[in-house]
Amino acid sequence: MKLLEQFTIILALTLVVETVKALVPLPIPASIYGLLLMLFLLKAKVIPLVSVKDAGKILLETMPIMFIPAAVGLLNSWNTVKELLFPLIVVIFISTLAVMVISGHVTQMVIHFNQKRSDLKDE
């Protein structure tokens, strides 16, 4: 019953986000709206983490299975992809490297900010 309640919360949030996506004419995927809304609701403690933790864990564990149809579709169009393989690998490598570097710098900034904030509270 607990999982049913947790999935209901996530699905209700998804419904709200899809409605917002339909009303707001921005080229932003509904999933981004959903992530931001869930982050806001969790940080504001409107939704306690315990209320969605187990369902979220199940969704994360099953996520790799969702990529199988995309991989099969990629295999079906191998002749087209084969010609673009080297440029794709270069783009994937560069973008992965950029994401790692930017994420590392942002993480260091957040850690530094939190340390400064805790130092100010101690004074």
Number of residues that this document lists for the chain: 123
pLDDT of residue 79: 84
Nearest to 13 by CA among 29, 46, 37: 37
Dist. CA 47–CA 53, nearest whole Å:
11
Give me the residues of the chain with pLDDT under 70, please.
none
Burial, 7: exposed, middle or buried (Cβ in 10 Å; 0-12, 13-18, 19+)? middle
Domains of the chain, residue spans = 1-66, 70-123
Dist. CA 16–CA 23, nearest whole Å:
11
pLDDT of residue 84: 87
pLDDT of residue 48: 94
Pair 31, 14: CB distance under 8 Å: no
pTM attached to this predicted model: 0.62
Could you tell me the two tokens for 80? 């087209």
| Cβ neighbours for 20, distance < 8 A, ≥ 6 positions apart | 30, 33
